[in-house]
Structure 1
Amino acid sequence: MANVISAKNVNKSYGDFKALNDVNFELEKGRILGLIGPNGAGKTTLLKAVLGLTNYSGDLKVLGLDPHKQRDELMQRVCFVADVAVLPRWIKVSQAIDFVEGVHPKFNRELCEKYLKETKIKRDSKVKALSKGMVAQLHLALIMAIDADLLILDEPTLGLDILYRKSFYESLLNDYFDSERTIIITTHQVEEIEHILSDLVFIQDGEIVLDDSMEEVGQSYFEVMVEKEFEEAAMALNPMNVREVFGQKVCLFNGVERSQVEAFGKVRKPSVADLFVAKMRGQSKAEGQAKGEVA
C-alpha cells in the first residue's frame, strides 16, 4: 500500500533550538493517525513541514510530493483544520459556503449543509455573532465537505461541548473516512479518539518516541493491577511505569510475554493516555540520567 507520508531524517531548527530531531515515520493510505505530544514537543512544527508551511532538512514526501516545492499541487489534495478556526468575522455563513464552493473544485455543498443541519447555526448569521463552538462547527463543516486525500485536524474539537465532540467523531468515521482517505489528528483529549485510531505516534522534544499501529500497541504493552503477593515478582521484570490505584500497584510492561504477567493480577491493554504518560516519564528519566552521566 502506498505511503501518504514518508519522513526520513527530517530536522528543523530555530537558532539553537531543535524543533524536529531526525524525525522518521511512514503513514499508509486509509489510516487514522493520532499524533500526540505535550505542548512544545514539535507537533505543530511537524504539521507545518507536512503542509509546506516551513522549510526543513531531510527527506519528506506527502502524497508523493515535496510539500515545500510542490505546495500548490499538494493543497489540492490536503485539508487542514487548525486549532484556532480562522474565518473572517464580517462574513455570513451563507457567504462562507459560497466562497469555499467557488474556490475549491472538490467542495460538496450538499455534504456541508448536511453537517450544518446538525448544529444551530443560521445561514444568515455573521461569524462575529457565533459562539466559539459554533465557529469551530462551521469551520469543520466547510473542511469536511472537501473531498481530500489527506485531512489534518489540529485540536479539531477545541471549544466544543462533549455532545458535539462525540457527534463529530461519529460523523468523521461514518460520513467522511474511507479506505481512500487518510486522517491525522492531534489532540490533548486522547481518550476521545483512541477508539478510532489505527496508528499512534508520540513526539517529545522534537523526537519520535513511539511509532506503532494500535494493533502493535495492544500486543506489545500490558498493564497489570498486581496482587500484593506478586509485587516483588512484578517489579523484578522492570515495568516501564508503576502507579498506584486504591493501594494496588499498576505496572505497565513492554517487551515481556503476556503469559509472564498473567499470574500477577488482572491484565489489560493500557489506555493511550496511560501509555503516553509512561512514555513521557520514561523519556524525561532517560534524559536526566544522560545529563547526569555527562556531568
Structure 2
Amino acid sequence: MKYWWRYYFLSFAVLLLLSFVVSSFFPSNFYLEIGEISLVFFIWYLLSPYIMIISFKLKRSYDLRLDSIVSYTSNLFRMRKPKVFITYTDYTNAFAFGNIFFKGIGYTSSILTSLQDNELIAVTAHELSHIRNHDMEIQVIGLILYDIIYLFAFNINFILGMVLFFLVFPIFILFHRWLEKRADITAVKNNRWLTVYLENALIKIGYLGRTIPSYLLRDIPDFQLYFIKQQLINTIEDKSFFRTHPSLSDRLRYLSKYES
C-alpha cells in the first residue's frame, strides 16, 4: 500500500504546484476558475503515467512469459498491446494506467510468482478492460466535475460547500467501485472460459495471499480453490464504506454467473 500512498502524495503535490502556476495566469472569476480546474487536471492526466512509474518504481518488462501473456490477451481483446512494466515487491497486484497517448499495465513481481498463466491472462483481461472502457479518462472527468461542484458550493456558502463535499465524496467512491465491477464483467462476458481463472486469481490475491507466501500460491490445486470459492460466496464480508473495489465475496457471486 505504500506505493499507492506515494502515488497519491506525488499526485497531490503535482496538482498543488500546477494550481499555483496556472492560477497566477487566471484572474479570480468563477467561470475562469472552472477552466483553471479543467486545465490543471488535464495536465496532471498527461503526467500521470510518469507519476505512476516513479511512485511504483516500475521497470520495463523483459520477461518473455509475461510478454507472451499480454500479447495473447491483447489479441484476444483485439486491442493494441500496452507497455508492460514490473515492480519488484511482495505486494501482490496488477494495475492499468496511462492516458490517450500512453497505455501501460504494471505487475508486481509477487503476482507473477503467485499466479499460473491462465490466471495471469484473466488478470490482464481485467486490466485491459479498464483501458477499453476508458476508465482513466472517466475518472479524470469525474474529478473535474467533483471539484467544480465543490467550488460552486463554496462560492455560495462555506457550510454548503462542506455539506456537498461529504455528500458527493461517497458517490465518487461508489462510482469507482462500479468501474471495477464493470471491468470484471467486461473481462469475462465474451470470454467466459476466463471466469474461473479470474475467480481463482482473486481468491489468491485477496484472500489466501494474506497468510500464504506468494511462492506457495501458484500450485494450489483447482479443487481446493473451488471449495474456498463456495465458502467465500456464502460469506457476507464486512463492506467498508470506503472500499474502492467490490468485496471479494461480491465479486465471486456476480462472476459465477458467467462461468462456462
TM-score, normalized by the shorter chain, greater than 0.5? no
Q: Greater share of strand residues, 1 or 2? A: 1
The alignment's TM-score, normalised by the length of structure 1, stands at 0.23
Q: Greater share of helix residues, 1 or 2? A: 2
The alignment's TM-score, normalised by the length of structure 2, stands at 0.25
Q: Which structure would you say has the larger RCO, counting Cα contacts within 8 Å and 6 or more residues apart?
A: 1
